[in-house]
Structure 1
């Protein structure tokens, strides 16, 4: 009964906010019009830039997509990843180094830095300044990946990849605050490729075609479909095979936008767990760590571990014992080679790589 009342209340509030959504949509449309028609300045840089972003708030899989691009390009090019560093406690341009933490550069950039040693990782809310600083480096990058910069029109991205979640396509959504869109669905016209993320592994070609028609891409906008693949080996305090945890009690810690896919995956694997859920990009305080420790101690089993996501791990690994993380990868359901070719062709034909 309580859930029904709450759901009804949310629907009523969303309807009340529709006029504000229409106003917000109008403002973003005017802004995009001014950039598209060069009334507002958009800078194009000599270094090839790939933008990964979305039209909505919430998790659409930007981090694993950035990691996919790193793996695709790192053997041939010097790569830099530039993010704004969401919820970091520093300001301005920060280049990740041995002193970097999740607090100084943000959890996702810190994850990139820890994972890919040959990649330059930096943060700057002003992407224009960030790129300028990267180009001034003694050894500047060959390619810059811009994380969550689809709405950052001050930079003219060379290749724009738009992500949309299978369970929440942008064409089915509405503008903030009624819905989750940061700009109208017409912003998708700026993308050179559209990727439908977090699809079921068995998504049929027929369903893919139906979704593609629903998105109504331009003739030069290929649509791709990806799924999330979980690593079968847990990392952290040591390495553990997921299949060996059937008789292990797990305290699952999540501070991500949508933990449901991970929860469903663990249930599918018949893993026993108790969950503590926190907001996305949450900065764990001492009282939170104490809560986690108390919950862990309360588990009546000798075989028990703390399990979290890779993004959460970088925020708590130095404050807890016996903690592990499960990493994820983006996997293309079909047309992987086609996507790889499009990206490689862009980088290879861009200035400085002819």
Structure 2
């Protein structure tokens, strides 16, 4: 893989030029961005996957869901439908995509929609739902929409300032575009990140005046949930466990489980992978299959031995309050 990335360096230079020109055209007005009457908050990153966008969306939904009509608009990666689609009880995960479906199942009172054309999706939401606030999931690079607030996520283990453009690296947008962020969240940190390390990262990120940088780590739940049943995480120590992941970066989950003294085999699949009948038959021959919540929505009801481990952001140094205060202009408008 590393060799292929090195061989792809010339391609990444072309990609970088295209990204630069595209952003330049938006900056000088040759390409236009559209603002909307509905307050919009964008949550995204500069890289491809693995920064914790879905838990961040869920954190925001949980903190504003009782203050007005909230809508979440996503592209719905991997879905088998096209165009605009609003989540309803009769709509399944293959139509909506795993991440939007997960959010809808967890927050059924939120209006969750998918549309690759964010302008079109926002217009329909305004016409049909009339939300007080719209959360745009994974839309930092979508310059056609001008949002009220931007939350940029970057993983502690792969800061955007240390990355490079696809396909040699993971960047899909320019590092310079971080200047558009109101808030930069360094995610997936060690839970006891030292003050010295925080200062080192701040120096590397070099935020603009007015930008806030906060730090978070992932906190895994110790109660595993399955098909109308639960299991304590510690019980896995006495079982033959198969970890099944179809996410961009499972390394932190693997490290967490290993630190708990759990022995497991790991079957890793591509991000947003829809499991085949053959794969599901394989899982059903295992004693216990543990997976992520995002993967579980694609596996629910297909086996009695499937459990998922929930996860959420935990913020350091009062970062939760800082985040909500920084978003106060949008949130208080509800």
* Normalised TM-score (structure 2): 0.96
Aligned-partner Cα distance in 1 for 2:29–2:148: 16
- Whether 1:188 and 2:171 are equivalent positions in the alignment is no
Q: 2:74 is matched with which residue?
A: 83
Aligned-partner Cα distance in 1 for 2:217–2:255: 14
Offset from partner CA, 1:214-241 (integer Å, 9 cap, x none): 0111011111100000011111120122
Residue 15 of structure 1 and its aligned partner are, at CA, apart by 3.4
Residue 243 of structure 1 and its aligned partner are, at CA, apart by 2.5
Residue 322 of structure 1 and its aligned partner are, at CA, apart by 2.2
Residue 86 of structure 1 and its aligned partner are, at CA, apart by 0.3
SS of 1:15's equivalent in the other structure is: helix
Offset from partner CA, 1:192-214 (integer Å, 9 cap, x none): 11011000000012211110110
- Whether 1:40 and 2:4 are equivalent positions in the alignment is no
Q: 2:146 is matched with which residue?
A: 156
Contact preservation (8 Å) 2:291, 2:307: yes
| 2:216 aligned residue (218, 226, 238) | 226
SS of 1:121's equivalent in the other structure is: strand
Aligned-partner Cα distance in 1 for 2:6–2:307: 43
Q: 1:3 is matched with which residue?
A: none
| 1:179 aligned residue (160, 169, 172) | 169
Residue 159 of structure 1 and its aligned partner are, at CA, apart by 0.5
Aligned-partner Cα distance in 2 for 1:66–1:96: 16
> Structure 2: which 5+ runs fail to align?
none
Residue 269 of structure 1 and its aligned partner are, at CA, apart by 1.2
Q: 2:130 is matched with which residue?
A: 140
Structure 1 or 2, whichever has the larger Rg, is 1
| 1:329 aligned residue (295, 305, 312) | 312
Offset from partner CA, 1:264-303 (integer Å, 9 cap, x none): 1111111232222111100111111122223x1xxxxxxx
Residue 55 of structure 1 and its aligned partner are, at CA, apart by 0.6
Q: 1:300 is matched with which residue?
A: none
Aligned-partner Cα distance in 2 for 1:32–1:168: 23
Q: 1:23 is matched with which residue?
A: 14
Q: 1:165 is matched with which residue?
A: 155
Residue 305 of structure 1 and its aligned partner are, at CA, apart by 2.0
SS of 1:209's equivalent in the other structure is: helix
SS of 1:311's equivalent in the other structure is: helix
- Whether 1:289 and 2:280 are equivalent positions in the alignment is yes
| 1:211 aligned residue (184, 201, 215) | 201
SS of 1:225's equivalent in the other structure is: strand
Aligned-partner Cα distance in 2 for 1:30–1:226: 33
Aligned-partner Cα distance in 2 for 1:220–1:19: 36
Aligned-partner Cα distance in 1 for 2:250–2:17: 33
Q: 2:83 is matched with which residue?
A: 92
- Whether 1:249 and 2:240 are equivalent positions in the alignment is yes
Aligned-partner Cα distance in 2 for 1:322–1:293: 7
Q: 1:129 is matched with which residue?
A: 120
Residue 61 of structure 1 and its aligned partner are, at CA, apart by 0.6
Offset from partner CA, 1:114-141 (integer Å, 9 cap, x none): 111211101000000000010011x421
| 1:49 aligned residue (37, 40, 45) | 40
Q: 1:348 is matched with which residue?
A: 332
Contact preservation (8 Å) 2:284, 2:305: no
Offset from partner CA, 1:56-114 (integer Å, 9 cap, x none): 11311101111111112112122111000001000000000011211001000000011
